[in-house]
A and B are shown apart, each in its own frame.
Chain A
Amino acid sequence: MSEGLDPSGAITRRLAEFCRFVRSCGLSVGVGAELDLGLAVALVDPMDRSTFRSACRATLAKSPEEVELHDRAFDAFWSGGPSKIPWTGTGTATTRPSPVRPGTRPKEADRPARPEPPTVSIPLGTWSASAPNVGHSLLAQPEKELHDLRDGARRLRRRVATLPGRRRARSHRGGVDVRDTLRRSLRYGGEFVELRRQHPSLRRGEFVVAWDVSGSMREHESRFFALVYALASVSRRARIFAFSTELTEITPEVRRHRYRRATVLTGARIALADGGTRIGGSLSELFDRASTLLRDRTTLILLSDGWDLGDPERVGRELERLARRCHAIVWVTPYTHAPGFEPRVAALQSALPHLDLLWGPEDFGPSSGRVRPGVVAPDPASVSGSTGRPRQDPTKARTAGKT
């Protein structure tokens, strides 16, 4: 804000305090946005609360979730001082969280200048005797294992990329690229020395990952998180969701940080999503929340052991719906390669007709450069639903798509 409009600097100071408060509430506000706010306030009437609020929102928030968080922070800050953020989410117990935000060091949170941390109500989810509602402490896996998982994820991505895209790549076969041929001819004084050719390249597969973080998966969660991280790192548009009784998107925690940091942040984030499993309900929520993500190039990867407290038939119904939208569905269960494994869990049995691949985490490991076939659903040629697409034989998915 210019000095002429705010000679004492009081408004500027208050705006800076507001930005600090908003940051402490979890909004990522950079210095650029703070400067924008100063300039914006000089252009609007700060005495008009509604306009002032809109100006703060336009400059500080960058997503609908941040808009909601900003609005609550705005009301809390500009209505008597930075004390509390009222949380209107569903849920039960009101608790005062640790002053340490996920990813910050305790020393940082204890600085005296920082406003008092907000009081929030944490939605606890449905209670389940089989899953204690305590936090997840994910352990970082060795670099070598992560590297192998990444290779496996890359192989899976290549395997599911079977659709021709709009991009064209140089090739020895395919149509003549007139523009490139002309450009190349400039090197030889306009003589057409060589014909340049191109053909449509395969579309990159996109991953949507749904990761079961319920109690029954507890002993595998560190390893599965490494797999989730590997899947996210090989697909540019991967979206990651954790579920137990409700669905939580953890894409920012997984994608924006290095592995060890992502492990800490994700462990803190999914602590809220613990407690039993409702696979069918979570898949339904995934369909509602991510319907725009589920497209003909999307591969849905479901990481779960199949233990479900909900209706197992619903799992089949929801997967049938998802199968109509997605390119492929891959279920990864920790026990696939255990001796004598058979998919006997009710939810898994209900899901089998709609799966393209049933894999174990071992299938992502080193396998002499070849994709292992995985366990095939009992009737791979079966048609899912009246309007559903025919399911491919998982072992032939790649070659069938190419032809």
Chain B
Amino acid sequence: MTDTETWKGPPQVQELLAAQSYIADASLATAIFLSARLGKPLLVEGEPGCGKTEIAKVLSAATGGELIRLQCFEGLDSRSALYDWDYPRQLLMIRMHERETATELLEKQVFSERFLQRGPLLRALGGDATHRPVLLIDEVDRADEEFEGLLLEVLSDFQITVPEIGTLRATRPPLVVITSNRTRTLSDALKRRCLYAYVDYPDAEKELTILRRRVPLLDAAFARQIVAFVQRLRAEPDLAKRPGVAETLDWAAALLTLRIEALDPAAVATTLGFLIKDADDLELLRARHAALLESPE
């Protein structure tokens, strides 16, 4: 586990990630390196299943920092993301002390950090000095635009203002990874505060390396066959959802579990559901997969 301050350059980041079985190209490693050293959030966009979320997980493992995840969804509000007051306990406190304590004093006690329920963003600001926590804001495009506004103060100044207590600042800014599947365009204000990296589908060579790392029991020739098939599948027109690396890994693991040692039309037909997650696509490929299997690499 290394401190980000001691990172020498992008090659070291590549090595650290590779040690966690994450294969990053030089461009992504540079973006991660700069994000850590400049203390700026890293916005990662790309197709689903290409390893965006995984970046935060491996960074957490590589640096020893706690992984704090904020999964975004429509309707996500400040109470879930920042903080909320523990109302039942506050109520108990009021009931217990309402007779012997002055109202102002009681109010001060009730609205203190003791009764503050910290959300992921607030927890990320409270990391210790040695290990920077890794804050993963996952699928930010699913959240409402108002929520992006909420993130701005946190991401630019790493501070959160609680009216009853004051402004809480991070002793050391966390490593922030924001992922987006581009289902909507993010605001310029948010993008301006971030460094940017785009994770595309990997080429065959990189995907083979990932597959060999993640599913080491797979035979080398079989792994090549799997990767070649997936690459051809991605090149198919008319697919609504192309398989990502996550699907390739799931499929390889399934084939291994089923003790299938070479791809044939029957094996592909029975396991195609691991790669394709859309009913129309499945229907389309049921007719084509045999031809795909036979087409030259």
Write 10 A-B pairs (CB below 8 A) sorted by A numbering.
A44-B9, A44-B10, A45-B9, A51-B30, A54-B31, A64-B198, A67-B198, A203-B74, A236-B144, A291-B240
Q: Quick one: which of B144, B191, B195 has the most chain A CB within 10 A?
A: B195
Q: Does any Cβ of A come within 8 Å of B184's Cβ?
A: yes
Q: Does any Cβ of B come within 8 Å of A92's Cβ?
A: no
Could you tell me the distance in whole angstroms from the C-beta of A37 to the nearest C-beta in chain B? Answer: 10
Could you tell me the distance in whole angstroms from the C-beta of A66 to the nearest C-beta in chain B? Answer: 8
Could you tell me the distance in whole angstroms from the C-beta of A230 to the nearest C-beta in chain B? Answer: 19
Q: Does any Cβ of B come within 8 Å of A391's Cβ?
A: no
> Which of B57-65, B87-95, B246-254 makes up part of the contact surface?
B87-95
Name A387's closest neighbour in chain B (CB-CB).
Answer: B279
Name A32's closest neighbour in chain B (CB-CB).
Answer: B192
A287 CA to B237 CA, complexed, in Å: 11
Q: Does any Cβ of A come within 8 Å of B75's Cβ?
A: yes
The A interface is mostly helix, strand or loop, or mixed, namely helix
Closest 4 CB pairs of A and B: A54-B30, A58-B31, A167-B75, A54-B27
| Contact-residue size bin, chain B (C-beta under 8 Å from the other chain) | 35 or more
Tell me if B87 and A291 are in contact (CB < 8 A): no
> B273-292 interface mask toward A, CB cutoff 8 Å, 1 = contact, 0 = none?
00000011001000000000
Could you tell me the distance in whole angstroms from the C-beta of B235 to the nearest C-beta in chain A? Answer: 12
Per the 8 Å Cβ criterion, residues 1-59 of B in contact with A are 9-10, 26-27, 29-31, 33-35, 37-38, 40, 43, 45, 48
Known: A185-B91, A252-B185, A325-B240. A166 touches B38 (CB 8 A): no
Which residue in B26, B73, B94, B237 is a CB contact (below 8 Å) of A190? B94
Q: Does any Cβ of B come within 8 Å of A16's Cβ?
A: no
Task: Kindly list chain B residues whose C-beta atoms are within 8 Å of the C-beta of A189.
Answer: 94, 98
> B177-192 interface mask toward A, CB cutoff 8 Å, 1 = contact, 0 = none?
0000111110010011
Q: Does any Cβ of A come within 8 Å of B83's Cβ?
A: no
Name A238's closest neighbour in chain B (CB-CB).
Answer: B184
Q: Does any Cβ of A come within 8 Å of B197's Cβ?
A: yes
Tell me if A179 and B33 are in contact (CB < 8 A): no
- Residue pairs across A and B with CB atoms within 8 Å: the count is 119
Tell me if A165 and B37 are in contact (CB < 8 A): no
Name B95's closest neighbour in chain A (CB-CB).
Answer: A190
Tell me if B191 and A62 are in contact (CB < 8 A): yes
Tell me if A54 and B38 are in contact (CB < 8 A): no
Tell me if B74 and A167 are in contact (CB < 8 A): yes
Question: Which residues in A have some Cβ–Cβ distance to B below 8 Å?
Answer: 28, 30, 32-33, 36, 39-40, 43-45, 50-51, 53-55, 57-59, 61-64, 67, 165-168, 179, 182-183, 185-186, 189-190, 203, 236-237, 239, 251-252, 256, 284, 287-288, 291-293, 321, 324-325, 387
Q: Does any Cβ of A come within 8 Å of B114's Cβ?
A: no
A189 CA to B181 CA, complexed, in Å: 47
Tell me if A166 and B74 are in contact (CB < 8 A): yes
Task: Kindly list chain B residues whose C-beta atoms are within 8 Å of the C-beta of A185.
Answer: 91
A325 CA to B279 CA, complexed, in Å: 11
Tell me if B26 and A165 are in contact (CB < 8 A): no
Task: Kindly list chain A residues whose C-beta atoms are within 8 Å of the C-beta of B145.
Answer: 236
Task: Kindly list chain A residues whose C-beta atoms are within 8 Å of the C-beta of B283.
Answer: 387
A292 CA to B182 CA, complexed, in Å: 8
Known: A59-B195, A167-B75, A236-B144. A190 touches B91 (CB 8 A): yes
Could you tell me the distance in whole angstroms from the C-beta of B88 to the nearest C-beta in chain A? Answer: 6
Tell me if B26 and A54 are in contact (CB < 8 A): yes
Could you tell me the distance in whole angstroms from the C-beta of B158 to the nearest C-beta in chain A? Answer: 16
A36 CA to B75 CA, complexed, in Å: 33
Q: Does any Cβ of A come within 8 Å of B100's Cβ?
A: no
Tell me if A186 and B90 are in contact (CB < 8 A): yes
Q: Does any Cβ of A come within 8 Å of B238's Cβ?
A: yes
Q: Does any Cβ of A come within 8 Å of B241's Cβ?
A: yes
Per the 8 Å Cβ criterion, residues 140-183 of B in contact with A are 144-145, 181-183
A33 CA to B10 CA, complexed, in Å: 20
Task: Kindly list chain A residues whose C-beta atoms are within 8 Å of the C-beta of B94.
Answer: 186, 189-190
Known: A32-B192, A62-B191, A288-B237. A39 touches B10 (CB 8 A): no
Could you tell me the distance in whole angstroms from the C-beta of A51 to the nearest C-beta in chain B? Answer: 6
Given A30-B192, A167-B74, 4 further pairs, Cβ under 8 A: A44-B34, A54-B30, A182-B88, A292-B182
Tell me if A165 and B198 are in contact (CB < 8 A): no
Task: Kindly list chain A residues whose C-beta atoms are within 8 Å of the C-beta of B90.
Answer: 186
Known: A54-B27, A59-B195. A43 touches B241 (CB 8 A): no
A51 CA to B90 CA, complexed, in Å: 54
Task: Kindly list chain A residues whose C-beta atoms are within 8 Å of the C-beta of B37.
Answer: 43
Tell me if A64 and B10 are in contact (CB < 8 A): no
Which residue in A30, A50, A387 is a CB contact (below 8 Å) of B26? A50
Task: Kindly list chain B residues whose C-beta atoms are within 8 Å of the C-beta of A287.
Answer: 238, 240
Tell me if B241 and A291 are in contact (CB < 8 A): yes
Task: Kindly list chain A residues whose C-beta atoms are within 8 Å of the C-beta of B279.
Answer: 387
Q: Quick one: which of B98, B183, B241 has the most chain A CB within 10 A?
A: B183
Tell me if A284 and B87 are in contact (CB < 8 A): no
Which residue in A58, A168, A237, A251 is a CB contact (below 8 Å) of B196? A58
Could you tell me the distance in whole angstroms from the C-beta of B194 to the nearest C-beta in chain A? Answer: 8
A251 CA to B182 CA, complexed, in Å: 13
Task: Kindly list chain A residues whose C-beta atoms are within 8 Å of the C-beta of B241.
Answer: 291
